[in-house]
Structure 1
């Protein structure tokens, strides 16, 4: 995540991780669960701090920071690992994924333009980091995350979206800002 190399690493960031071509991949619980497992691993073992998050059908928004100032490396590893895991799941469980051939084709097509991608490209390269250097910006981005599923017409209240810090029963444990 080269966008963070010249940034203040002592502050939290609003980050958007987007699937290539805005493909709705997180409509399957299995892919969301793998993503949450990986985030929880990064929290427990890599020093990731997640304050707010939401997993939308085609992207993830979060407010995050790292204990050691290496957020860019944590996100790089997270994106690499989740991409491999989800693509593997798509390939191995084609009987459950009706879009498997199309999805794999799209990920392969997107990889053609980047040398570092061996066969597939799952995530867009940029994470669009926004430094949260004021209480106003923190509040604005927190509200955006919590209301994103509502604004998208997926639920009537942000607390009803399973993969969100707005949900009191969220599978991802977040920290207080």
Structure 2
């Protein structure tokens, strides 16, 4: 990813484990996004946190130290979730074990998928997809997009950002 470009990004929990079913882990993601947006490192235009993955539309504004903000986000959230699993459910750790010189476990699958959003039409298409994700038949997490808490759909419906992380896409396009 490059600075000052809008991306649709998908990150998945290793082995598609439904770790993000736990609201406290969803809150870890929100808190990390809040820190990075309030620090002026990135802008979040839309998101949804699903049980085993998340989708986000974001723009990296400046480096966070020596790395892009999305890298900081992935590292931080992985660390906090790993630490909690280690303390509260160590039997689950084996699901995230990896053979690597640099780490013993991965919470996130490697090689998340960033897609550069180069047009307003493409941005709106992905935003609609994100907001409708919890309604898909195999999820059935809500009746309407704005009913699902861990999504930006309610923000786009009401204008209220209960997370303190969102910027309306029309401010950028």
Same fold (TM over 0.5): yes
Question: The residue matched to 2:168 in structure 1 has which SS?
Answer: coil
1:45 aligns with 2:39: yes
1:62 aligns with 2:56: yes
Q: What are the Cα deviations for residues 116-168 of structure 1, in whole angstroms up to 9, with x where unaligned?
A: 22x21111121211111011111110000110001132111111111100124
Q: Distance in 2 between matches of 1:163 and 1:172?
A: 13
Gaps of at least 5 residues in structure 2 are: 156-160
Aligned length: 160
**Are the structure 2 counterparts of residues 60 and 127 from structure 1 closer, same or farther at C-alpha, using a change threshold of 3 Å?**
same
| Other-structure match for 2:101 | 115
1:26 aligns with 2:24: no
Q: Distance in 2 between matches of 1:57 and 1:88?
A: 19
Q: Is the 8 A contact 1:10 1:69 kept in 2?
A: no
Gaps of at least 5 residues in structure 1 are: 95-99
* Mapping 1:127-146, distance limit 5 Å: 127-146=112-131
| Other-structure match for 1:174 | 166
RMSD: 1.8
Q: Is the 8 A contact 2:62 2:69 kept in 1?
A: no
Q: What are the Cα deviations for residues 23-78 of structure 1, in whole angstroms up to 9, with x where unaligned?
A: 100111111111111111111125111000010001110000022377x7211111
| Other-structure match for 2:158 | none
Q: Distance in 1 between matches of 2:19 and 2:164?
A: 19
Q: Distance in 2 between matches of 1:29 and 1:146?
A: 18
Q: TM-score, normalised by structure 1?
A: 0.83
**Are the structure 2 counterparts of residues 172 and 19 from structure 1 closer, same or farther at C-alpha, using a change threshold of 3 Å?**
farther
| Other-structure match for 1:153 | 140
| Other-structure match for 1:97 | none
Q: TM-score, normalised by structure 2?
A: 0.84
